[in-house]
Amino acid sequence: MAVPVNDSRRWLAAGLTVFALLAAGCSSSDDSSPAGETDTAAADVPQAIVSLSPTSTEMLYAIGAGDQVVAVDDRSDYPTDAPVTDLSGYTPNVEAILGYEPDLVVANADTGDLVAGLEQAGVETLILPAAQTLDDTYTQLEQLGAATGHVGEAAELVAQMQADIDEILAGLPERETPLTYYQELDNTFYSVTDDTYIGEIHSMLGLTSIATGSNGYPQLSAEYVLEQNPDVIFLADGQCCGVTPEVVAQRAGWEELTAVREGRVYVLDEDIASRWGPRVVDLMREVAGIVGGIPVTAPTP
């Protein structure tokens, strides 16, 4: 099927099959060891990590493993001090990866026999596929913590994320009926259903998608959006496609949409909105601010 322009959204929409592998034999050092005694567990901690996934890169730095990262893929743009290279997570080149002499490679799919190629070279691989739920994000952070020697930091980060999210949700107004939304992934009207990672996030914030169906990322039509008349429109295609609230308002008939008339068309950072790392808290805080500003009893269209 045709998919959105942004590669991170293309990955999600295509529903690629991925394989979850756990890193073996990696654990944090024992602080109780006598001074000067060699810690065998510490010797297993990877010192040269290559990340082939923007989300994994964000997670690695968030748990304190940034100093161990020697190279990241060409899509990893956060944090800004990550060592970006021309390595690709979509078409990985094992020989190029090995040029960085890694002892751990983190990716979100076993594309192009990546795992087998690295295994032949004696390099461990940790595959962290696209999260389906917020709990998956927590689990992956903990897996990375175990694989990199940052178990405590990962646990602290998960606990802080959970506390922040609880605080965000507690500040939302109570509504008898969820607000409806349309999230635009690209300018050909691909969207998200409630049965997706981003759909779960929005549902927690009191929203329900106008998109439905077994495919979590269906392509809608302009006419369908008009018929459904969503309360809120989120644009995750500003960077890729130049879509703005002004562009939306100029579409035929869309000026009559409740979201357009009430000024409820919002541009989201498409990277944050399509990744499942720690910055999901930032996304939730932003959307919660939007939801919280909408009257509990919305004006009748």
Q: Fill in the amino acid letter for 46.
A: P
CA pair distance 50, 76, nearest whole angstrom? 11
The answer to whether 278 and 157 have CB atoms below 8 angstroms apart is: yes
What is the pTM assigned to this prediction?
0.82
Quickly state the pLDDT bin for 232 (edges 50, 70, 90).
very high
**C-alpha closest to that of 276 among 88, 83, 11:** 11
Q: What pLDDT is stored for residue 204 in this prediction?
A: 96
Q: What pLDDT is stored for residue 206 in this prediction?
A: 95
Pairing between β-strand 104-107 and β-strand 232-235 as defined by DSSP bridges: unpaired
Which of 3-7, 76-80, 267-271 is least confident? 3-7
Say which residue the tokens 């349309």 belong to.
Answer: 182
CA pair distance 50, 294, nearest whole angstrom? 44
Quickly state the pLDDT bin for 17 (edges 50, 70, 90).
very low
Asked if the peptide bond before residue 79 counts as cis, ω within 30 degrees of 0, the response is yes
Structure tokens at 168: 């965000």
Please check the confidence at residue 82 and state whether its pLDDT lies above 60.
yes
Residue bearing the bigger pLDDT, 238 or 225: 225
CA pair distance 47, 224, nearest whole angstrom? 52
Quickly state the pLDDT bin for 129 (edges 50, 70, 90).
very high
